[in-house]
Amino acid sequence: MDLRAALTAHRLVAIVRGDDPEAALRTVLTLADEGVGLIEVSLTGRDALSVIERAREALGPDRPLGAGTVLTADDARAARDAGADFAVTPALGEGVTAAHALGLPVLAGVMTPTEIVTARGQGATGLKVFPAAQAGGPAYLRALRGPFPHELLVPVGGVDEAAARAYLAAGATAVGVGSPLIGDAADGGGHSALRERARAFLAAVREATA
């Protein structure tokens, strides 16, 4: 897949991590039904690879689906074999280089300018600025835009609806959102509230893009 084009077009990555595989699968499908174009399933969730496999079967081959928390070469291979289109890592290292070697575009976890330069060398397509809130929030991301005007910067960590607007206004390519969007849906919670949150985040992204 063209991760660069997808991040630029959709500007929102939903991060699904849960202890209930059935609920996590329903969460992925609900988000897709609401129009969330980029979804990642974290490998730290229970039976995450099975969730990815079943989501891929349900969504078909053309809907982007990622694997998150890819740390090792084994993680990268398993994610690819399960049907993931892209990999997301919390940091630099083997997960990035292995996924890249396997042909998976990578959203690589970084925090500092040095790590951004290193990520380039490891083949990352985009940069997950993580944990964004602790790194300095929208002001820090805006500062990174100076020396790195062409990088795909995706803040993740503590991004609620208001923060999503602020990061996008500060120059983020997209935002990655976990619990403020997912809530308890991937652990068996209600999905009507999930749909409401998805619509609110999508509206925030559209407003920031307009």
Active site residues: 40, 128
Per the CB < 8 A criterion, the answer to whether 118 and 98 are in contact is no
Count of Cβ atoms closer than 10 Å to residue 15 Cβ: 25
**Cβ-Cβ contacts under 8 Å for 166 (sequence gap 6 or more):** 137, 138
Cα(111)–Cα(56) distance, integer angstroms = 31
Please name the residue that has the structure tokens 């609920």.
23
At a CB cut-off of 8 Å and minimum separation 6, what does 192 contact?
none
Amino acid letter, residue 208: A
For residue 104, which of 77, 74, 69 has the smallest C-alpha distance? 77
